[in-house]
Amino acid sequence: MTSNFLTLTKVHLLGMTGINRVRYSEDGKEKRKAGLFIGLYAFVMILMIAFVCFYAVMFAENGMNDVIPALSFALASAITLIFSLIRGPHMLFAMKDYDMLMSMPVKKSDIVASRLITSYLVNLVFCAVVMIPCAIVYFIYGGFNVAALVYILIAFLLSPVIPLVVSNIIGTLITAATMNLRHKAIFQTALAMVALVGVMALSFLVSYTSGAGSVEISDATLDMLLKIYPPAWLLQQSIAGKGFWYLLVLIAASAVFSAAFIAVLARYYLKINSALLSRKSSGRFEAKQLRAGSAFKAMYKNEFARLLSSPSYMLNSTSGLLLLVILSVVSIFFNPFEYLSGIPEFDTATAEQMKFLIVPIVMFTVGITTSSAASLSLEGNRRWIPFSMPVSSFQILMAKAMMSLTLSGGAGIVCSFILTFSLQLSAVQAVLLFVSVIVYASFSALFGTYINTKFPKYDWTNETMVVKNSASVTISVFAGMIPPMLLLFLGFSLFETLVIPVLVLDGLALAVAIFSFIMLKKAKLCDR
């Protein structure tokens, strides 16, 4: 029975990635879809590796090569923590196959362990994108060392463990505290974002107080920064030649931390899931007059009700917009461009030109708003209901697209007003910001809906599989995320000429939005 968690992990991983479907399917469309999926991931990985290598080389050439492994370890852990907080603990709770799992002769700890291992393996891939390029740069500049290689490999395998457990502890506490509330999706999203803001605020506070405006940081400051995340400090001590014992402490802490979380959660796993899956009524009923309205208006309202009823759907679909709201509120109290203008390397004119970077940043937050890319798939085994209604396929799809456009466009316009006044943007910068927000929100909503018609995923056992791991969401997120990232990367060196690239991207996004709209008018949905 000790291998049950490994079997559950294998089944869950194969189901989440769709490997079995591609492997045993005779449908060429499935194989082409998988090839597109793999190619897209490979392209993003290449971009991320190039970005990591650029900064690793910059650190090495500024005399900081010795701390690159520890810093990359801390960065990989921070990425795991942030994205795990955004995703929430939804892989652990409220699964469609929960009843089937509970009827099997397996321990609750095996189920929890299998879900955590699956999350660990997924996050390990992203940690590899950060740590492996940094390790190569470290050995190129500092020379090869077998002991350092062993330390880095062990640290790489451990990098997602502690942040993954921490994020699941926070998520589980939030879930347990809100599981009996009527609008638990709203409360869970709000509390998760508070936790995320706390992590980001701590990171900003550390970098700001350490004087990270310059690449040249003293050894004492670096030591202090690493102590903020003790696992990174332990790794640095072993790499610095102070013995393997420091890394043994890290290994032991990771193992004990994970085992303790699994043991404690297993005791309350049944209670939490039962509360989440149950439907309670207050017993109070009121007779109200029914008001007639258009079918489109009813479907539009239903899309918002669906969003508010699912913590996983709401948190993952609105995380980018929530980050935009946080950025806008912070800008009222802190203007980073005024801070830059006080640094000797930046004069007032340079800091003023750098304000153009706000445009791709806002476009990025709008671009990763992917509610429309999952809305059709979330119909699941209930898809016969909208498909059998006396409305056209175009109305069904536009109701889903309009919900996304209302979210991203509304939040984007409001935040653009705030950023315009708080950052004192020029007329050109403000116009460019508003135009980009409107165009990119339209692109995100329409393109996401269109892609979901091409890559629907109805046979899911957990909403997280749709809103986080489905092909349509992945394609939509990458399509909305990569262009602004490239603009941002370009803007750090050519921000004074960023207007033309932004306008080109706006033109391309508008063209894709129009194309998606036309294709949605031609789409024919069926209960398949």
Do 378 and 464 sit in the same domain of this protein?
yes
- Quick: pLDDT tens for 13-32: 766 666 666 666 666 666 67
Q: Are residues 338 and 366 in the same domain?
A: yes
Query: 476 near 451, Cβ under 8 Å?
Result: yes
- Tell me how crowded residue 24 is: count the other CB atoms within 10 A of its CB: 8
User: What's the rounded Cα separation, in Å, for the pair 218 and 511?
Assistant: 50
* Residues 155 and 99 occupy one common structural domain: yes
Task: Compute the residue count for the chain.
Answer: 528
Q: Rounded to whole angstroms, how far apart are CA atoms 99 and 289?
A: 39
Identify whether the C-beta of residue 331 lies closer than 8 Å to the C-beta of residue 418.
Answer: yes
Same-domain pairing of 87 and 214: yes
Closest to 10 in 3D by CA, of 98, 118, 146, 93: 118
CA proximity to 80, closest of 254, 256, 336: 254
Residue where the block lists tokens 């370890």: 73
Nearest to 409 by CA among 377, 383, 441: 441
Residue 222 resides in a domain: yes
Sequence-ordered list of residues with C-beta below 8 angstroms from that of 269, at least 6 positions apart, any chain: 92, 108, 111, 112
Residue 106, both tokens: 């397996």
Q: How far apart are CA 391 and CA 37, in angstroms?
A: 32
Would residue 286 count as lying in a domain? no
- Please report where in the chains the tokens 């009121």 appear, as a residue: 286
Whether 284 maps to a domain, the answer reads no
Within this chain, do residues 488 and 384 fall inside the same structural domain, yes or no? Answer: yes
Q: pLDDT value at position 423?
A: 86
In the listed set 209, 243, 278, which residue is the last one of a domain according to the structure?
278
Domain assignment of residue 526, given as a range: 293-528
Nearest to 85 by CA among 468, 372, 448: 468
3-class state of residue 92 by DSSP: coil
- Residue 389's pLDDT is what? 74
| Predicted pLDDT of residue 279 | 54
Asked if residue 230 belongs to a domain, the reply is yes
Residue 287 covered by a domain: no
Q: What is the total count of domains within the chain?
A: 2
C-alpha 155/C-alpha 412 separation (Å) is 40
C-alpha span between 249 and 318 (Å, rounded)? 38
Residue 180 CA, chain-centre distance (Å), reads 26
Averages of pLDDT over runs of 10 residues in the chain (528 residues) are: 67 67 65 69 78 82 83 85 69 64 74 81 86 91 87 90 84 70 63 61 48 46 65 84 86 88 80 64 55 75 79 76 82 75 61 81 86 82 73 86 90 91 88 93 92 82 72 83 81 67 90 93 70
Out of 278, 312, 347, pick the residue that ends a domain. 278
d(CA 375, CA 462): 14
Rounded CA gap, 221 and 488, in Å?
Answer: 28
pLDDT at 214: 41
Same domain? For 524 and 444 the reply is yes
* Residue 112 Cα to chain centre, angstroms: 22
Q: Which residue has the tokens 């740590």?
A: 131
pLDDT of residue 243: 79
Q: DSSP labels for 104-134?
A: SS--HHHHHHHHHHHHHHHHHHHHHHHHHHH
164 within some domain? yes
Domain match, 91 and 119 both: yes
Tell me the C-alpha distance between 449 and 396, whole Å.
10
Helix-, strand-, coil-residue percentages of the chain, each rounded to 5:
80, 0, 20
Q: How many degrees, rounded to 5, is the angle at CA 308 between CA 509 and CA 83?
A: 60
User: Residue for token digits 């109305």?
Assistant: 395
* Same-domain check for residues 273 and 366: no
Residues 184 and 326 in one domain: no
Asked whether residue 15 falls in the same domain as residue 86, the answer is yes
Q: Would 128 be classed as within a structural domain?
A: yes
- The model's pTM: 0.69
In a domain, 285, yes or no: no
Find the farthest-apart pair of alpha carbons in the chain and give their distance in angstroms, rounded.
Answer: 78
Last residue within a domain, chosen from 278, 303, 332: 278
Residues 8 and 84 both lie in one domain = yes
Q: Are residues 333 and 231 in the same domain?
A: no
pLDDT, position 216: 46
